[in-house]
Chains A and B, each alone.
Chain A
Amino acid sequence: NAGVTQTPKFQVLKTGQSMTLQCAQDMNHNSMYWYRQDPGMGLRLIYYSASEGTTDKGEVPNGYNVSRLNKREFSLRLESAAPSQTSVYFCASSAADTQYFGPGTRLTVL
């Protein structure tokens, strides 16, 4: 079992470029989440998906879109990257109360 995997691990973008962060889980979990982590702010929820076919906004959704492609995969898209989106992005999944996290994607927007 790989658990939760994320690609890429690192990415540098220029302002205005677009990209998609990929996340996949092999634990057959219904719920999946995208967070961003910034120093001194903990993790903040961007979007989540309670089950295949549904997505909902979290605390900081502006500038992002998501797709729950199937039960395994949940992608995060930045349509026009901004320097304020420089952060570490974590994907997580859960079946009940415990969330399992991926290793993260470190994104820098210049």
Chain B
Amino acid sequence: AQSVTQLDSQVPVFEEAPVELRCNYSSSVSVYLFWYVQYPNQGLQLLLKYLSGSTLVKGINGFEAEFNKSQTSFHLRKPSVHISDTAEYFCAVYNNDYKLSFGAGTTVTVRA
């Protein structure tokens, strides 16, 4: 089964600064990759996904991610964060049997 590794467990960042959350996946012939966000005391919601095509994927709330096959990475970025971006972010990969495997999560704390 495929798996993902999120390289940072906590990322503190100041408001209006850029942020990058790192995710690496185990290699496979084809791969579907996802980023989900969990706001405090809520369920997960989809930020963006890569299925095929353009390696730069744009999602909701100004987030984007780049699929890099040679480095087996799918890093998430936002050029300028807001206080409301404080949340936990999960990278996930679909296995061949259409089950999701999640990373351990990255907690982003945005400070004024």
Q: Which of B32, B42, B94, B102 is within 8 Å of A43, CB to CB?
A: B102
Tell me the nearest residue of chain B to A48, going by C-beta: B99
Shortest beta-carbon distance from A30 to chain B in Å: 11
The yes or no answer to B100 lying at the interface (CB within 8 A) is: yes
Minimal beta-carbon separation of A17 from chain B (angstroms) = 25
Assuming the contacts A42-B102, A104-B43, asked whether A97 and B32 have C-beta atoms less than 8 A apart, the reply is yes
Find residues 50-107 in chain B having any chain A CB closer than 8 Å to their own CB.
Answer: 51, 90, 94, 98-100, 102-105
Tell yes or no: A31 within 8 A of B by CB.
yes
Whether, in the assembled complex, A2 has its beta carbon less than 8 Å from a beta carbon of chain B, the answer is: no
Q: What's the Cα separation between A59 and B27 when bound, in Å? A: 20
* Interchain CB contact under 8 A, A42 and B90: yes
A18 within 8 A of B: no
Determine whether the beta carbon of A97 is less than 8 Å from that of B43: no
Q: Is B44 in contact with A101, judged by CB distance below 8 angstroms?
A: yes
* Chain A positions within 8 Å of B45 at CB level: 101
Q: For chain A, which range describes its interface: under 10, 10 to 19, 20 to 34, or 35 or more residues?
A: 20 to 34
> Quick check: is B26 within 8 A (CB to CB) of the other chain?
no
For the complex, what is the distance from the CA of A94 to the CA of B98, rounded to whole Å? 10
Check if A90 sits within 8 Å of B43, measured CB to CB.
yes
Is the C-beta of A98 less than 8 angstroms from some C-beta in chain B? yes
B residues within 8 A CB of A104? 42-43
C-alpha spacing A84/B42, complex, angstroms: 22
Whether A42 and B49, one on each chain, are in contact in the complex, defined by CB atoms closer than 8 angstroms, is no
Smallest distance from the beta carbon of A67 to chain B beta carbons, Å? 19
CB-based contact A102/B43 at 8 Å: yes
- Write the residues of chain A forming the contact surface with B, with a CB cutoff of 8 angstroms: 4, 31, 33, 40-45, 48, 50, 58, 90, 92, 94, 97-104
